[in-house]
Structure 1
Amino acid sequence: MDLPAGVVDAVRDDLVSSPGALTPHRVAEALRRAGRPVGDATVLAVHDALRRDILGAGPLEPLLRLPGVTDVLVNGADAVHLDRGAGLELTDVRFPDDEAVRRLAQRLAAAAGRRLDDATPYADLRLADGSRFHAVLAPVARPGTVISLRVPRARQFSVPELVAAGMLTAGGARLLAAVVAARLAFLVSGGTGSGKTTLLAALLATVPPGERLVVVEDASELRPDHPHVVGLEGRPPNIEGAGAIDVRTLVRQALRMRPDRLVVGEVRGAEVVDLLGALNTGHEGGCGTLHANSAADVPARVEALALAAGLGRDAAHSQLASGVDLVLHLVRDRDGVRRLREVAVPVRDERGLVRMETAVRFERGGGETTGPATETLERALAGLA
């Protein structure tokens, strides 16, 4: 039912002036005091609008519950998009104005104990249901307050399901099974939304059940279907600016927890130094994800993160070459299909710097081509590297 402009705001302002539960009876009384129509349809419509405004994700809640939704994106009051794996779709959901978007963003942030106002106009956190929430308030954001919600999967994909979905070829699945069995250390690289977390979770589910996985993340997303998983999650500062726990600190804690495999959900900062250090001190089978445009760009990405943490260029390349056995690079095609494009191996040149050499490249049509590092990868899988 379409409500006249200002009705919901008038009832809201009336109700907040006195405590009490949100009920249709209180809504009807507020409508009478405002001189508005008090028909059953109007009362229920206002009640439902206010209920959406104070519970869950408000008008976004139905979108979050749609099957297959991975992201819900709000670009101001008039543009709400979702992603179901085939690219962004514009929805019919609209907000009355930017103030309504702002209220929703602030309420969700407050529920997680975070401040979101003009003094701190952005927030990045995880909601109680596991959704990843990010918001930037207007006027810092245009065309209005922007909200991004990443929806956790109800269940994780298995490797056979990734083959059926086209992310892996049958040969690629066999290769990755051998990588996990050989306890090789690897990084999963790719752009945003390319499926790094999905692939890593599926591979971790194939780890033998007798092994202990310690997973470190800035925001918990990795939920591998494995009987022995311990998760450590970073924590942002509270409203007073205290209590933050960064990923680097958690990596150090994880090393003291007897991990058979140390997993860093996303390497994005100084924790790269601790991860590389761990992989060079006997922690086999470690892994993590990393944003990169291609497998060839991984050494430069690792170098930049390590330099920011105070590790010199030569040391960063040396640690990368000796600690990481291979890189799995993912892409997202224009049709929205995520797939494994390349398996590459780090090789040091005459200057001691690392470059990535292709071992196997997977073509879009399902074909596979070998590269100069194929024999190196085969030796690593056989335990001869």
Structure 2
Amino acid sequence: MFGRKTLTQQSLTSHVNTVRGNSSVKDSERQQSRFELIHTEVMLTIEPAVVVQLSREELETRTFEAVGDIALRHQLPMGGQEQKQMMLRLVDEMLGLGPLQVLIDDPNITDIMVNGHKEVFIEHNGKLKSAQISFRDEEHVLNLARRIVSRIGRRIDETNPMVDARLPDGSRVNVLIPPLALDGTCISIRKFSHNKRSLSQLAELGAMSSDMVTLLDIIARCRVNVLISGGTGAGKTTLLNAMSFGFSPDERIITIEDAAELKLAQPHVIRIETRPANTEGLEAVDQRHLLKNALRMRPDRIILGEVRGAEALDMMQAMNTGHDGSMCTLHANSPPDALIRLENMLLMAEVHLPATALRRQIAGTIDIIVQIERMRDGLRRVTHITEVVGLEGEQYLTRDLFSFDYQMQSSQGNVVGQFVSGNIVPHFIEKARYYQLDTRLKQVMGVN
């Protein structure tokens, strides 16, 4: 059926006895044993050279027939619906992500976390919960991890136990295996959303007010330098994508990421990605190398997916040398923390400048910090749109253009609060005037 004329029979007596209806066995255990029996026999019939030539529809048809034949041969009670479900699980094993495929296909799931072969957790509508699925054993989840990373030319083993990868749809994947992961292979998947949300759509979800939508759109159009700050999973990349709707279609934009995730709507976008070193002697290409090369590619804007270390120096230099309107994200809990963290990253680049000079450079480069947070109710909200004004002594001088005023948590667990305007004229008003957006900027800030 899959290309082999004969089937090598193995000892499957225990499985057969289990799935034929032992009353002491739970239905879930009986179903799992039935799947393992059929899985074993189907995999023995697979000729990989034949399978790779089949479309998914053809593979589903042949697998469905194979499941029916095996059930009939072993006298397994199985209805048409169960036979179909069994077929889909097997096809997902061969082409997809096995037990995880159903989670990948669910649009309401944003994160998938595999903690060894027994535990799988998901983030569903902003909250963590058990996925109620598992792998057969450690070898099963490890094989899936190997298949994921091999698709992009990487490998994972004891000499390289940590790997960042991505799925064909753009979802980010991190894999960690023993001996570093003590309880078994860990796979973390941050799903890529194909529905690129605009700022207005984020506002409809409660992330910001309509005035904040207008302000962020003006900020994007006025080519001010923006730092998007937030915790893990706060929605920094989603917000950056949304702000990019305001970029001019005439601009040449270069995006730099560890795992390509940004998908901008403009026609002239160059997407480049870092590369790790491998055991064959292939040298690593990090964000700092890519940033230096990007400056030779005549960019109008540079978008750095996430700044983590010494590449912060090159990003600052790019923002100061004619590439205004550039943006980057970093992990920090507040706008002041974001500035301190950026300062520490510059020190990692071995910048030999006095602290005051370093802070003056940061204050003169970064115009706006947008802070986004995933709150206790699972919703992601823009908590601050903060303008960096300059230095006062050795301290950064900032002003909140908008902020979220937390008030209480309702009995249903929802966060209650309101978005508050600072009612001030931003310092980038001159840039707004250059782009003929100053009147609109004053209106949205509630000033004359």
TM-score by length of 1: 0.86
Cα distance change, pair 239–15 in 1 and its aligned pair in 2 (3 A): farther
Q: What is the distance in 2 between the residues matched to 1:132 and 1:203?
A: 21
Provide, for residues 188-230 of structure 1, a one-character-per-residue CA deviation record: whole Å limited to 9, x for no partner: 1111111111111111111122222211111111112222222
Moved more, 304-313 or 148-157: 304-313
Q: What is the distance in 1 between the residues matched to 2:396 and 2:235?
A: 25
Which residue, 407, 411, 418 being the options, matches 1:366?
418
> For residue 276 of structure 1, what is the aligned residue in structure 2?
316
Partner of 1:178, secondary structure, is: helix
Q: Which runs of 5+ in 2 are unaligned?
A: 1-30, 52-61, 407-416, 439-448
Partner of 1:188, secondary structure, is: strand
**Structure 1 position 90 matched with structure 2 position 130:** yes
Q: What is the distance in 2 between the residues matched to 1:241 and 1:93?
A: 39
Q: What is the distance in 2 between the residues matched to 1:319 and 1:282?
A: 15
Q: Could you tell me whether the CA contact under 8 Å between 1:277 and 1:319 is conserved in 2?
A: no
> For residue 117 of structure 2, what is the aligned residue in structure 1?
77
**Structure 1 position 348 matched with structure 2 position 405:** no
**Structure 1 position 338 matched with structure 2 position 380:** yes
Q: What is the distance in 2 between the residues matched to 1:333 and 1:49?
A: 36
Q: What is the distance in 2 between the residues matched to 1:51 and 1:239?
A: 33
Higher RCO (CA 8 Å, separation ≥ 6 residues): 1
Q: Which has the larger radius of gyration?
A: 2
Q: What is the distance in 1 between the residues matched to 2:195 and 2:426?
A: 36
Cα distance change, pair 381–136 in 1 and its aligned pair in 2 (3 A): same
Q: What is the distance in 2 between the residues matched to 1:24 and 1:214?
A: 45
Cα distance change, pair 376–79 in 1 and its aligned pair in 2 (3 A): same
**Structure 1 position 324 matched with structure 2 position 376:** no
Provide, for residues 99-133 of structure 1, a one-character-per-residue CA deviation record: whole Å limited to 9, x for no partner: 21112112212222222122222211123331211
TM-score by length of 2: 0.75
Provide, for residues 277-317 of structure 1, a one-character-per-residue CA deviation record: whole Å limited to 9, x for no partner: 11112221111111111111012111211111212453532
Provide, for residues 17-63 of structure 1, a one-character-per-residue CA deviation record: whole Å limited to 9, x for no partner: x87646659978x989xxx9375959988766554333221111111
Q: What is the distance in 1 between the residues matched to 2:325 and 2:233?
A: 24
Provide, for residues 160-188 of structure 1, a one-character-per-residue CA deviation record: whole Å limited to 9, x for no partner: 11111111211111211221222111111
CA RMSD of aligned residues (A): 3.1
Q: CA deviation at 1:15?
A: 5.9
Q: What is the distance in 2 between the residues matched to 1:127 and 1:291?
A: 23
**1:368 is matched by which residue type in structure 2?**
V
Q: Which runs of 5+ in 1 are unaligned?
A: none
Q: What is the distance in 1 between the residues matched to 2:433 and 2:48?
A: 70
Q: Could you tell me whether the CA contact under 8 Å between 2:402 and 2:419 is conserved in 1?
A: no
Q: What is the distance in 2 between the residues matched to 1:166 and 1:132?
A: 25
Moved more, 77-86 or 151-160: 77-86
Q: Could you tell me whether the CA contact under 8 Å between 1:215 and 1:265 is conserved in 2?
A: yes
> For residue 220 of structure 1, what is the aligned residue in structure 2?
260
Q: CA deviation at 1:66?
A: 0.8
Alignment of 1:1-385 (within 5 A): 1-3=31-33, 7=37, 11=41, 21=50, 37=74, 50-312=90-352, 314=355, 315-346=357-388, 347-351=390-394, 354=396, 356-364=398-406, 365-370=417-422, 376=427, 378=429, 381-382=432-433
Once the two structures are aligned, what percentage of the paired residues are identical? Answer: 34
Q: What is the distance in 1 between the residues matched to 2:320 and 2:327?
A: 13
Q: Could you tell me whether the CA contact under 8 Å between 1:113 and 1:239 is conserved in 2?
A: no
Cα distance change, pair 31–256 in 1 and its aligned pair in 2 (3 A): same
Equivalenced residue count is: 377
Moved more, 55-64 or 359-368: 359-368
Cα distance change, pair 198–19 in 1 and its aligned pair in 2 (3 A): closer
Q: CA deviation at 1:354?
A: 3.4
Moved more, 274-283 or 79-88: 79-88
Q: What is the distance in 2 between the residues matched to 1:25 and 1:308?
A: 57
Q: What is the distance in 2 between the residues matched to 1:98 and 1:238?
A: 24
Q: What is the distance in 2 between the residues matched to 1:250 and 1:288?
A: 14
**1:318 is matched by which residue type in structure 2?**
R
Q: Could you tell me whether the CA contact under 8 Å between 1:134 and 1:148 is conserved in 2?
A: yes
Partner of 1:134, secondary structure, is: strand
